[in-house]
Every structure is written in structure tokens, then in C-alpha cells.
């Protein structure tokens, strides 16, 4: 189903979608630096089995992050002409895409937080064991 953009309120809503998607890109950029930090911290872990598991989780998050960033940039490119050109038709699938991207972003941020807590916990134990010897 397509709808013609004719009123300012709809254009305002599209601009809000665009700005939120731009914020998502900023969140993913922060996630990129967070992943780099966690990879360095994980590389210094003493326990090989735990280290391998955390590296695998981080690799999975990084793959998801990269595909998600591409999809978000495509979404932004889809929104741009709707905002700048009047009477452009659009598919209401934009809202479904928005919901799907938001859900995936929340999931990848949650996954990163979970791994971060685990890596910090393992690092704390490694420091305590190092101080004990």
C-alpha cells in the first residue's frame, strides 16, 4: 500500500524517523569502539576456554553490527527523498522496517552489554588470582 505525502504532519513524522535512525547510527558507532575495547580486554584473559567463548560472542555481535549498520544506512537513504520531495509516494513498510531495525539494535546492544559484563567479571577474577599469587 502506498500513500502520498501531502501534509506537514506526516513530513514531520518522517523527519523524526530519519533523526532517530541517525541516532541509531551514532549508537552503532559507539558500539564499534566498545567492541574494539572488549576484544582487547578479552585477548588478555588468562582462561583459554572462557577467552574463546567470549571472542566467539564478540565476533557474532560484530557481524550483526555490520549488517545492521548497512540496513540502517539503506533505511536512511529510503527516507531522505520522502522528506525532501513533496508528493512522493511511500510504502507503509517503512514502519515495519523501523520496528525491525529498532528491535535488532536493542538486541545487539543487549548482547554487547551481556558480553561486557561477562568479560569484566572474568577479568576481575583474573586480577584477583594474579594478586593472590
Encode pLDDT of 87-131 as tens digits. Answer: 566 677 888 999 999 999 999 999 999 999 998 888 776 554 544
Residue 133 domain flag: no
Q: Is the pLDDT of residue 132 over 50?
A: no
Residue 107 domain flag: yes
Q: State which residues form the domain around 68.
A: 25-35+53-118
Number of separate domains in the chain: 1
- Distance, in Å, from the CA atom of 113 to the CA atom of 123, rounded to the nearest integer, reads 15
Residue 1 domain flag: no
pTM, entire model:
0.79
Structural contact between residues 4 and 87, judged by C-beta atoms closer than 8 angstroms: yes
pLDDT tens digits along 16-70: 999 999 999 999 999 999 999 999 988 887 778 788 889 999 999 999 999 999 9
pLDDT at 131: 47
Classify residue 92 by its DSSP letter. T
Amino acid at each position: 500500500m502506498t500513500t502520498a505525502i501531502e501534509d506537514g504532519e506526516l513530513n514531520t513524522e518522517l523527519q523524526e524517523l530519519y533523526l532517530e535512525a541517525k541516532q541509531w547510527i551514532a549508537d552503532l558507532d559507539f558500539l564499534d569502539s566498545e567492541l574494539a575495547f572488549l576484544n582487547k580486554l578479552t585477548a588478555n584473559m588468562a582462561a583459554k576456554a572462557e577467552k574463546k567463548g567470549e571472542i566467539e560472542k564478540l565476533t557474532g555481535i560484530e557481524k550483526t553490527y555490520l549488517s545492521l549498520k548497512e540496513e540502517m544506512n539503506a533505511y536512511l537513504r529510503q527516507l531522505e527523498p520522502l522528506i525532501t520531495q513533496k508528493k512522493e509516494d511511500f510504502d507503509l513498510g517503512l514502519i515495519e522496517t523501523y520496528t525491525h531495525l529498532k528491535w535488532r539494535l536493542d538486541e545487539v546492544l543487549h548482547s554487547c552489554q551481556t558480553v561486557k559484563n561477562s568479560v569484566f567479571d572474568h577479568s576481575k577474577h583474573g586480577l584477583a588470582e594474579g594478586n593472590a599469587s
